Copies of this chain bind each other. A is one copy, B any other.
Amino acid sequence: MERSYRLVISCPDEVGIVAAVSAFIAQHGGWITEAHHYTDPGSQWFFMRYVVRAQSLPFPPAEFRTRFEPIAMRFGMQWYITDSGMNRRVVLMASKQAHCLSDLLYRWRSGELQFDIPCVLSNHDDLRRYVEWHGIPYFHLPVDSTDKEAHFVAVSDAIASARADTIVLARYMQILPAELCQRYPASIINIHHSFLPSFIGARPYHQASERGVKLIGATCHYVTSELDAGPIIEQDVVRVNHHNTAEEMVRLGRDVEKMVLARGLRYHLEDRVLVHDNKTIVFA
């Protein structure tokens, strides 16, 4: 894939933003290959994502930042520019179940998703051999149920040491402490095994079976300090019927979970997700 820069902007909406940004890019010869705008009608907040061919601009992102700053100031923008050639550093966290982790590792090793994996963290040792086959460090950080804090200190340290910018909870079954969630806003991605806001918390497939729903689902969301209540990135469902026991829902749900997580992570890695008021704008 050709190298490109991704310019992501949000600011109060007003006339002239697109004109100012596109004029800036055009005057430097920038070739836009993808463009998305959106204004939230409630808050009148404006969101924008441009992809520009790296080779078409006469300067690197660092200089772009300096030169673009006056426009950003004028409109009160929150903004950043990323380089598709620079991989995100993504720490994967798992427990005993392999389906989401295996799926992400396949997409990573086949090059379908572009990111670095400094390490995998788990509260169990079960997945070590598979992860290490990929040449990825695996840290087993057990949970002492009488003192969970030690676990979370170890997790926090491992994330910091890995210089992670993204953490993926690939069916990691512990609830992260609020403090950790707040330290990585819009950076911790969880896959919840229900169609949120239905069936928050534990054993959602059993809750779904109990209620007799005809579709089950999965939700990929950013983690906040409130359980299963963070901004939703992606969701999907699969049909079930009375034949499907809770155990079979678990099996059917695995396929939805891994697809939804993979799509959500892709959006995140490509800077397609903007968060606003606990909701996401996804420029897919």
Return the contact of A215 from the options B99, B195, B233 (Cβ within 8 A): B195
Asked if B39 contacts A33 (CB within 8 A), the reply is yes
Give the interface centre of A233, A255, A280 by most chain B CB atoms within 10 Å. Answer: A255
11 inter-chain pairs at a CB distance below 8 angstroms, sorted by A residue, are A15-B30, A18-B18, A19-B22, A22-B22, A33-B39, A38-B242, A102-B102, A197-B198, A212-B280, A215-B237, A242-B281
Knowing A106-B102, A198-B198, A237-B237 touch, does A15 contact B19 (C-beta < 8 A)?
A: no
Expressed in whole angstroms, the minimum distance between the Cβ of A219 and any Cβ of chain B is: 8
Whether a CB of chain B sits under 8 angstroms from the CB of A58 is no
Question: In the complex, what residue of chain B is closest to A13 when comparing beta carbons?
Answer: B31
Knowing A242-B282, A281-B242 touch, does A29 contact B56 (C-beta < 8 A)?
A: no
Additional 14 contacts, C-beta under 8 A, given A18-B22, A19-B23, A213-B235: A15-B56, A18-B35, A22-B22, A32-B37, A33-B39, A34-B37, A35-B37, A99-B106, A102-B102, A198-B198, A212-B231, A212-B279, A213-B232, A255-B262
Return the contact of A19 from the options B26, B37, B234 (Cβ within 8 A): B26
Asked if A26 contacts B31 (CB within 8 A), the reply is no
Expressed in whole angstroms, the minimum distance between the Cβ of A118 and any Cβ of chain B is: 23
Whether a CB of chain B sits under 8 angstroms from the CB of A245 is yes
Whether a CB of chain B sits under 8 angstroms from the CB of A251 is yes
Whether a CB of chain B sits under 8 angstroms from the CB of A3 is no
Interface string of A158-193 (1 = CB under 8 A from B): 000000000000000000000000000000000000
Knowing A198-B197, A212-B232 touch, does A15 contact B29 (C-beta < 8 A)?
A: yes
Asked if B195 contacts A242 (CB within 8 A), the reply is no
